[in-house]
Amino acid sequence: MRSHATVGRIRQSLRNQWASIAVVFSLVTIAVPVTGRVRAEEPAPAVLHAQPPELPERAQDDWFNSPVLKLSALRGRVVVLHFWTFGCVNCRHNDAAYKAWFQKYATKGVTMIGVHTPETAREHDLKRLKKSIEERGLKYPIVVDADGKTWTAWGNRWWPSIYLIDKQGFVRYRWDGELGWKGVKGKAIMEKKIDELLAEEIPATANN
């Protein structure tokens, strides 16, 4: 998992995440209290309640597998948005989960969006990016964040990071790092959260 920190700091951050249920989102965030008991050693996503920034205006050429998307146009759907870059091994290790979710949920009210924020000069090469997308069999929408505007607006820190957005357009959960880091069952944990968000009803007042 990449960042602008050392590998040691990355691993320490992951250990801190596993021990924490609620964190403060880098945007304006209201922490949601967690009910029930969770074992201290049990990993869990960060619990959030924040209005995310809209995706920056991008040309159609910056989108793969999709027309241009706006989060505001996806209200009523659950959105799985993740940050990645094609040269990141840790990001690659999450591919199987993303593909499984896309196959399972695409027709059930879930939109997946991969935000490709490159780190190296090589990762800015769109031809290499396209080749990587095709070779890895990624079929869901992917937007190129070459200038890092989306990364910055979200206050993101890690490759990979996954955010779950509910039907009302609020970010509810975040997972930093590999879903299977050291045997953790992150895919199943986040899949359960996706199911929970899908089951939620939109309050009538939300449409007023």
Write the pLDDT tens digit of every residue in 123-143.
999 999 999 999 999 999 999
What is the SS3 assignment for 110?
A: strand
Token pair, residue 203, equals 């309050």
Does 1 map to a domain? no
Cβ proximity of 198 and 109 under 8 Å = yes
Does 2 map to a domain? no
In this predicted structure, what is the pLDDT of residue 43?
A: 79
pLDDT (average), residues 161-184: 97
**pLDDT score of 107 more than 90:** yes
Does 45 map to a domain? yes
Does 153 map to a domain? yes
CA 7, chain centre distance (Å): 21
Token pair, residue 206, equals 């939300």
In this predicted structure, what is the pLDDT of residue 9?
A: 45
What pTM did the predictor assign? 0.81
Report the CATH number at residue 92: 3.40.30.10
Does 26 map to a domain? yes
Does 120 map to a domain? yes
Token pair, residue 112, equals 């997946």
The residues that bridge with 144 in the sheet, in sequence order, are 116
In this predicted structure, what is the pLDDT of residue 196?
A: 98
Cβ proximity of 85 and 116 under 8 Å = yes
Q: Show the domain range for 175.
A: 7-207
> Can you count the helices (H) and strands (E) in the chain?
6, 7
The residues that bridge with 115 in the sheet, in sequence order, are 83, 143
How would residue 47 be classed by pLDDT, with cut points 50, 70 and 90? very high
What is the SS3 assignment for 13?
A: helix
- Residue pLDDT, tens place only, 57-105: 999 999 999 999 999 999 999 999 999 999 999 999 999 999 999 999 9
In this predicted structure, what is the pLDDT of residue 208?
A: 52
Structural domain count of the chain: 1
Instruction: Calculate the average pLDDT of the chain.
Output: 85
Cβ proximity of 90 and 178 under 8 Å = yes
Does 69 map to a domain? yes
